[in-house]
Amino acid sequence: MRTECRPIRYTDPNIFSTFNGEYVHKWLFKCAQYFEIEEVATSEKLEIASYYLDGVALYWHQNFLKSLGNQKSSWEDYVEAICYRFGGQQDPLEELMELKQRGELEEYIQDFDILWNKAEVSEKQALVIFLGGLETEIKNTVKTFEPKTLRHAYNLSQLQSNTQTYRRSPAYVRRPPSVFQHHPVLATTTGPPHSTTNTTKPHAAPQKTTPTPWTNNLGSSYTKTYTKPTKSYTKEPWD
């Protein structure tokens, strides 16, 4: 039984973009999507993909066919060759781990998504790498919320970045510090309730004082003194 194939749309820029030597993995991903949607046979993939080459990529493709001579290349061998030529010599995982935020957050996220696609690591590993490459202030804030997914980490980092941008804008007015922040907190006793501590010094021993002279109305004064009797009394027996 013969099956009819749908006509292939060679010029559809919304699905299949032109490749000029930049972002080869992105272009190959679009190729795979297009081939799957249109149910393209494996033998036709190379011919269709070459239709969307331009610039240095097209020159490389022509040289690649010349190097084959009379032989034909499979689509898998062609993908491997074009990745070696335009995919860079550095290991994608190593390049992903070396990526750091040095400018706008959105640029860092876009570069991270591209490298993550090439590195082919799990989301859990990608989350650790993404947090490590963030700016220090953004990273510390995002880590306090302990994100479990990259989507959550993206959202938190964007919120913190927007907060930083607002604080640097002229519309941001810093609130004056509260008056309560300048007064030290009074120390409180840690002992049992209603307990008092005697901090007074002990009373000194009383000192002897000289009797004050008595003054009468006439202006004369005298000091009243007492003397012990010199004569001793003995108890005599009764007759």
Q: pLDDT band for position 13 (50/70/90)?
A: low
**Domain contains 13:** no
Domain end, chosen from 67, 86, 105, is at 86
- Domain of 115: which CATH number? 1.10.1200
**Domain contains 108:** yes
Which of the residue ranges 88-92, 187-191, 220-224, 234-238 has the most confident prediction, judged by mean pLDDT? 88-92
Whether the predicted model's global pTM rises above the 0.75 cut: no
Query: What is the arithmetic mean of pLDDT over 16-44?
Result: 88
**Domain contains 4:** no
For 175-199, the pLDDT digits (tens) are 666 655 555 554 555 555 555 555 5
Q: Which residues of 51-82 are buried (b: 16+ CB within 10 A; e: fewer)?
A: ebbeeebbebbeebeeeeeeeeeebeebbeeb
The tokens describing 19, both together, are 């490749």
Domain end, chosen from 141, 167, 193, is at 167
Q: According to the model, what pLDDT value does residue 154 have?
A: 95
**Domain contains 180:** no
| Closest-CA residue to 101 (of 128, 135, 129, 72) | 135
Co-location of 70 and 48 in the same domain:
yes
**Domain contains 39:** yes
| Closest-CA residue to 120 (of 193, 201, 28, 187) | 28
Domain end, chosen from 167, 185, 219, is at 167
Q: According to the model, what pLDDT value does residue 74 have?
A: 93
Co-location of 71 and 97 in the same domain:
no
Q: According to the model, what pLDDT value does residue 212 have?
A: 60
Co-location of 80 and 96 in the same domain:
no
Task: Check pLDDT > 60 for residue 127.
Answer: yes
Query: What is the arithmetic mean of pLDDT over 155-184?
Result: 76
Co-location of 122 and 155 in the same domain:
yes
Domain ranges, residue 80: 24-86
**Domain contains 182:** no
Cβ-based neighbours of 147, under 8 Å, separated by 6 or more? 127, 131, 153, 156
Co-location of 68 and 101 in the same domain:
no
Co-location of 135 and 105 in the same domain:
yes
Task: Check pLDDT > 50 for residue 1.
Answer: no
CA dihedral 209, 215, 220, 222 (to 10 degrees): -40
Segment among 77-86, 113-122, 196-205 with least mean pLDDT:
196-205
Residue 27 and residue 17 in contact, taking contact as beta carbons nearer than 8 Å:
yes
Q: According to the model, what pLDDT value does residue 106 have?
A: 93
% of the chain at pLDDT higher than 70: 64
CA distances for 201 relative to 137, 198, 204, 206, 207, angstroms: 57, 8, 9, 15, 17
Co-location of 45 and 59 in the same domain:
yes
Co-location of 55 and 113 in the same domain:
no
Co-location of 45 and 64 in the same domain:
yes
Co-location of 58 and 105 in the same domain:
no
Co-location of 96 and 157 in the same domain:
yes
For 61-111, the pLDDT digits (tens) are 999 999 998 889 999 999 999 988 998 767 788 889 999 999 899 999 999
> Apex CA 41: angle with CA 37 and CA 45, to 5°?
85
Co-location of 54 and 97 in the same domain:
no
Mean of all residue pLDDT scores within the chain = 78
